[in-house]
């Protein structure tokens, strides 16, 4: 499972990065990653979302096997499912906040649910696992990145009083999420071995 998580995170990171580099139609400063699906290399966005969704599913299974808290495990599953839905239903081109398509609406809702679920899952699981300074630091970055992204996105959709940097804040949030997934896969506590059933009769006794 660890290799699957790391591979999915790696493919997603590379796909999103190349999408930003080769794109000349939109600005990564002012536009979110999902908008780039409408560019010539838009397939990279879909590939990245699918890869991260697979990594999230693998991490969910690994966390469940480790015996971690149920709430954090279920929220990781929501993160994986939300990414999958967001990949299937692409976002609209920029500038259609007032008249979104059905695909945009589904994509947006799935993305919001997924990001929120992941943020809460990261906090819960980090607290449940043995203290890890590095993982704690990344978790703090996840929370701060999510807050900044929400503030800038709401401003773009409603007030437009801040500089249009929602693309930057989203990329910081996503980078923190991917870093947390990779680090969690590497630091995931091993499952506790099953305890022997001392109450069961021994073989020697039953054979008498």
User: What's the average model confidence in pLDDT over 83-103?
Assistant: 88
Residue 124 counted as domain residue: yes
For the chain, give me the number of helices (H) and strands (E)?
7, 0
The pLDDT assigned to 190 comes to 65
Residue 75 counted as domain residue: yes
CA distance 190 to 208: 39
Buried b (16+ CB within 10 A) or exposed e, 58-69: bbbbbbbebebe
The dihedral over CA atoms of 39, 41, 43, 44, expressed in degrees to the nearest 10, equals -120
Residue 147 counted as domain residue: yes
Residue 42 counted as domain residue: yes
Global pTM exceeds 0.75: yes
Residue 207 counted as domain residue: no
The pLDDT assigned to 177 comes to 98
Q: By three-state DSSP, how is residue 93 classified?
A: coil
Residue 193 counted as domain residue: no
CA distance 43 to 99: 24
The pLDDT assigned to 208 comes to 43
User: pLDDT confidence of 101, banded at 50, 70, 90?
Assistant: very high
Buried b (16+ CB within 10 A) or exposed e, 167-178: bbbbbbbbbbbb
Domains contained in the chain, number: 1
Half-sphere exposure of 9 (CA within 13 A, CB side): 22
Residue 171 counted as domain residue: yes
Among residues 102, 5, 122, the alpha carbon closest in space to that of 53 is found at 5
Residue 197 counted as domain residue: no
Q: Which domain holds residue 89?
A: 2-188
The pLDDT assigned to 42 comes to 92
């Amino acid at each position: 499972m660890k290799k699957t998580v790391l591979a999915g995170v790696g493919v997603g990171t590379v796909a999103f990065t190349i999408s930003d580099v080769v794109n000349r139609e939109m600005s990564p400063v002012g536009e979110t990653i999902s908008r780039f699906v409408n560019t010539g290399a838009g397939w990279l966005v879909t590939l990245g979302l699918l890869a991260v969704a697979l990594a999230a599913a693998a991490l969910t299974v690994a966390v469940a096997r480790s015996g971690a808290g149920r709430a954090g495990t279920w929220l990781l599953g929501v993160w994986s499912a939300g990414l999958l839905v967001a990949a299937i239903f692409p976002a609209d081109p920029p500038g259609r906040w007032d008249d979104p398509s059905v695909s945009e609406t589904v994509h947006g809702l799935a993305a919001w649910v997924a990001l929120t679920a992941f943020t809460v899952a990261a906090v819960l699981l980090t607290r449940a696992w043995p203290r890890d300074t590095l993982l704690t630091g990344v978790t703090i970055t996840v929370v701060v990145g999510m807050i900044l992204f929400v503030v800038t996105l709401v401003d773009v959709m409603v007030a437009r009083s801040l500089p249009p940097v929602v693309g930057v804040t989203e990329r910081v949030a996503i980078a923190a999420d991917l870093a947390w997934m990779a680090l969690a896969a590497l630091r995931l506590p091993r499952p506790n071995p099953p305890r022997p059933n001392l109450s069961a009769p021994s073989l020697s006794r039953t054979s008498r």
